[in-house]
Chains A and B, each alone.
Chain A
């Protein structure tokens, strides 16, 4: 016994040694490293997949939302010459700028990059796209050395080159990085004088953001109201019946999202099942059929239905852990059924509501297909706008900025939720 203690006791001088004489810390680290390595190999395929399919796209999206190399790359000399020009002076840039511009454009037209630049600048100033496209052909015929000076010739080709605004736009957006997309995303724009609101008729995104948040909240609210009793039943009915109920809850998962949404279309149309029934019952006049699709009501109804399981399941898993003895205890202490529920059961089920709400809300603000199909124009979400910019207007920078803002909103809400409720209180299973 005394021998063992002497051996085990750490020597007061120098590090503790392992059996083979290496310092204990080192040999522990070595053995742990091997374990970690093995674990890493096991998860490597998934890790790789997550990095490639999730982290890389997100990073590239974040980057795209501020990336603005195109102006400088296409018009390198013009940008350099413009640097010394003061846009607020109200005067056109000097001849050197025009000369540099022609030199740049000759190269750009040759490489056919000038139209891309045109569309980029068109996001900031309408008309730029066609200006570049139309001027391109004419400028190509000019000789950068012999045909000088260019100021008058360019203005002849297109009036736009004689406007201070045009050059100001090129100058303002010549940086390698830009906050222009983000400003656009919140209905603002960068001008020579600094950021300012866009004209009234072009503002739409803030409204869309507001609507997305508001409707997601409403949908989450409805989901809570509808799911709570169902989850309660699931957790409290006898096994046999609750299993059946569970299958009914999960059934929608096994049907295509598209099919479910289209089914709502059939239900909610003016000539649809609900309206027909109401008319048949005499509750609604035939010529005053309810408009419950292609507007916000349609989106709310369909999305509430589709997101219900995401609320029910976390609620159920929390409720399942609340023992019925708590309710019995409350009643034995003199509480009525309602008091026992409200003071004892409900507080313990809040983590489930929290978890379900986060899930549903986050899914809802990014929802796309359902609002697209049943939302009409009044019921679409910000994601529909993102999709539009990605596939139709090809303004990927703006789409990326919108996506980034959406991501930020989710993260902020998540953070706020953690501060208020505590993420530890959330139970997903």
Chain B
């Protein structure tokens, strides 16, 4: 466990120490250029996908069910052909390269471990088809098994392993032939929370230690935020936003992303005043609030403003003197241990959530109380309507 902690710290340091910043300068390793995909010739499942990944990046595709994530992965792996556009790997178009020549490691959602082979045989398979000699093969298999801490399980059949163990074997199998690019399609979907968190860490550790470029698909946003260098939020066959996790959470580019990532409060209204990076939005019930214009450019536009629950203030002293405030009625108080959660009724929205840390000086509001709430203009983003 100790080892895990130090490794995690080391990795975190590396991550913050500029890996992400450095990435954007590197030449693209994986590139989607104006890729479109249709299965039936009527609907586009992927619409105009553009994506460029540098070597060594851990990129997550996040999005609701049916948004085309798996389709993108399958096109990259070669199991589906793009209807239009180019997919480049290391600068070369791979549209006409069959899957087995792409050298891309892949972890499937249901693991796809071959049931008639032992764990060791499963791992040896990619080496065998590459005509690697027996002694070297065994060495590599052993190393890969040790890498996922499954050294003693080489003789077992996949059916004799637990879900988490199968998952690790699937990971080891995808890595054993040392691919430069690994694709994972919701590999942790079937695991319980604790195991999932552990595996999330294991996967990121391995990916970074081995310097592998990883495309990871999930629809679990926590997973996406904690694991990735960058996250591509998919919806409706398009990338809605492609950004590092912190940016995605703190500066969502449109209202879909704001809604999809984390908890979010939405208020609707019309922009009435706009100047630089400050604007005033008049809500539908006539009240005014401060916001930062993101997707609005001029007064009169309709907008949805988004405020994170933890950025809402009801302690008046912490706000600007001339900041706008809103009247709110406390509907519900939920005690969650480390935080307090309040459900308020604000400007006709009964599901306005506010969170505060359970600190000694924290105020416990009671249902029925009427309070004033406000926020810093830069925490409140005026997005597309």
Q: Which chain A residues have a beta carbon within 8 Å of chain B's beta carbons?
A: 323, 325-326, 328-337, 339-340, 343-344, 347-348
**Which 10 A-B pairs have CB atoms at the shortest separation, nearest pair first?**
A333-B126, A329-B112, A332-B106, A325-B112, A331-B99, A347-B116, A334-B129, A331-B100, A335-B129, A334-B100
Inside 8 A of A343's CB, which chain B residues have their CB?
Answer: 125
Which of A333, A335, A344 contacts B173, CB < 8 Å? A333
Task: Judge whether B129 and A339 touch: CB under 8 Å.
Answer: yes
Residue of A329, A337, A347 ringed by the most chain B CB atoms within 10 A? A329
Task: Judge whether A344 and B106 touch: CB under 8 Å.
Answer: no
Inside 8 A of A323's CB, which chain B residues have their CB?
Answer: 110, 112
Task: Judge whether B116 and A330 touch: CB under 8 Å.
Answer: no
Inside 8 A of A337's CB, which chain B residues have their CB?
Answer: 100
Smallest Cβ distance from B133 to chain A, in angstroms? 16
Which of B79, B105, B125, B130 contacts A328, CB < 8 Å? B79
Q: In the complex, A333→B101 CA distance in Å?
A: 9
Q: In the complex, A336→B126 CA distance in Å?
A: 11
Inside 8 A of B114's CB, which chain A residues have their CB?
Answer: 326, 329-330, 344, 348
Assess A329 versus B108: contact at CB under 8 Å? Given A334-B177, A339-B129: yes
Which of B77, B116, B130 contacts A334, CB < 8 Å? B130
Could you list some 26 contacts between A and B, CB below 8 A? Answer: A325-B108, A325-B110, A326-B112, A326-B114, A328-B99, A328-B112, A329-B114, A330-B125, A331-B79, A331-B99, A331-B100, A332-B100, A332-B102, A332-B104, A332-B106, A332-B174, A333-B125, A334-B100, A334-B129, A334-B130, A334-B177, A335-B100, A337-B100, A343-B125, A348-B114, A348-B115
Chain B interface residue count, CB cutoff 8 Å, equals: 25
Interface: B309 (CB within 8 A) = no
Q: In the complex, A328→B100 CA distance in Å?
A: 9
Inside 8 A of B173's CB, which chain A residues have their CB?
Answer: 333
Q: In the complex, A325→B104 CA distance in Å?
A: 15
Interface: B64 (CB within 8 A) = no
Interface: B163 (CB within 8 A) = no
Inside 8 A of A326's CB, which chain B residues have their CB?
Answer: 112, 114
Task: Judge whether B103 and A334 touch: CB under 8 Å.
Answer: yes
Q: In the complex, A323→B78 CA distance in Å?
A: 18
Inside 8 A of B126's CB, which chain A residues have their CB?
Answer: 333-335
Smallest Cβ distance from B342 to chain A, in angstroms? 37
Residue of B79, B101, B104, B130 ringed by the most chain A CB atoms within 10 A? B79
Q: A329-B108, A333-B129, A343-B125 are in contact. List 19 more A-B contacts (CB 8 A).
A: A325-B110, A326-B114, A328-B77, A328-B112, A329-B112, A329-B114, A331-B78, A331-B100, A332-B99, A332-B104, A333-B105, A333-B174, A333-B177, A334-B129, A335-B126, A336-B100, A340-B100, A348-B115, A348-B116
Smallest Cβ distance from B124 to chain A, in angstroms? 10
Inside 8 A of B79's CB, which chain A residues have their CB?
Answer: 328, 331
Task: Judge whether A329 and B106 touch: CB under 8 Å.
Answer: yes
Inside 8 A of A336's CB, which chain B residues have their CB?
Answer: 100, 129
Q: Name which residue of chain A comes closest to B109, CB basis.
A: A325
Q: What does the 1/0 interface line of B121-158 toward A look like (CB < 8 Å)?
A: 00001100110000000000000000000000000000
Q: In the complex, A331→B112 CA distance in Å?
A: 12
Q: In the complex, A51→B222 CA distance in Å?
A: 64
Inside 8 A of B116's CB, which chain A residues have their CB?
Answer: 347-348
Q: What does the 1/0 interface line of B152-184 toward A look like (CB < 8 Å)?
A: 000000000000000000000110010000000
Inside 8 A of B78's CB, which chain A residues have their CB?
Answer: 331
Assess A335 versus B125: contact at CB under 8 Å? Given A325-B110, A348-B116: yes
Residue of B99, B108, B174 ringed by the most chain A CB atoms within 10 A? B99
Smallest Cβ distance from A346 to chain B, in angstroms? 10
Residue of A325, A332, A344 ringed by the most chain B CB atoms within 10 A? A332
Q: In the complex, A330→B116 CA distance in Å?
A: 13
Q: In the complex, A332→B115 CA distance in Å?
A: 17
Inside 8 A of A328's CB, which chain B residues have their CB?
Answer: 77, 79, 99, 106, 108, 112
Inside 8 A of A339's CB, which chain B residues have their CB?
Answer: 129
Q: What does the 1/0 interface line of B72-110 toward A look like (CB < 8 Å)?
A: 000001110000000000000000001111111110101
Q: In the complex, A337→B101 CA distance in Å?
A: 11
Q: What does the 1/0 interface line of B55-78 toward A look like (CB < 8 Å)?
A: 000000000000000000000011
